[in-house]
Amino acid sequence: MYILANWKDRLDADSSSALANQILSNTSSAYGNIEIVIFPDTVSLAQVALLFESSSIVKIGAQDGPLEKSGTLTGSIAVANISQFCDYVILGHSERRSKLGETDEIVAKKATVACDLGLVPVICVSNGEVSNADPYLGIETQLQAIPREILSRGELLIAYEPIDAIGTGSPGNPKTVEETARAIHKVISRIVPTINVPVLYGGSVDAENVTSYLSLKGIDGVLVGGASLAADSFLSIVDEALHIEHAQ
């Protein structure tokens, strides 16, 4: 089970370090089979990674990845840096697709570089702005754009984000989330029949609703935004996940 914390650009370096220390001092080996991954902003990435350097419980990810293995792309993250400090990387987040115009092709290129670096890409897919018309429109296209060789490795995560649940405080309907997860697994199984890729849900997740998502068939974890910005609320989500793990 995966619990991912996406801090976006909500925290400065000092706040990121303080939150990281709070989480570090309150995690224990009891979390066992739960994979906890924290995604600080780029400025805070190295500092937060060093804090968790000796932790076997919490891993670190970047909020975006390089487009090329090497080059002179101003503003990009150097390959050597991202691979030194991270285990995971978020790619294709709905905000980057909608606000920065990132295409399926760009996400695919970044995913290829990430896998070559030994990073686990968390590829986000969403239903665009047509969820009322067709809840799966766009998702299949985004999945089909992922290079087959990456899917074949099985070393990636898919995060489903309903557009109307991102940062709105209005979480997705669990029934719809389960149906969408089923559709995602179906598409992936058509491309690579023998591979089971974990599917996560992201969108206004908190301690009060996380159980309704983690208990769904086909959902293997959550991508948490606002509720990950305080240690108490984030660790409450991890505790709920732990209860589900023990109940299974």
Residue 125, classed as helix, strand or coil, is strand
Task: Provide the token pair at 227.
Answer: 């509720």
Strand-pair partners of 200: 159, 221
Task: Provide the token pair at 224.
Answer: 């948490």
CA torsion through residues 75, 83, 25, 122, sign: positive
The length of the chain, given as a count of residues: 248
Is 245 labeled as catalytic in the residue annotation? no
CB 238 within 8 A of CB 28: no
Is 93 labeled as catalytic in the residue annotation? yes
Q: Which of 53, 102, 155, 161 is catalytic?
A: 161
In the numeric block, the tokens 């691979």 are attached to 83
Q: Which of 93, 102, 178, 240 is catalytic?
A: 93
Q: Which of 39, 47, 38, 37 is nearest to 65 (CA)?
A: 39
Quick one: 238 exposed, middle or buried, by C-beta within 10 A (0-12, 13-18, 19+)? buried
Q: How many CA atoms lie within 13 A of 98 on its CB side?
A: 14
Catalytic residue annotation: 93, 161
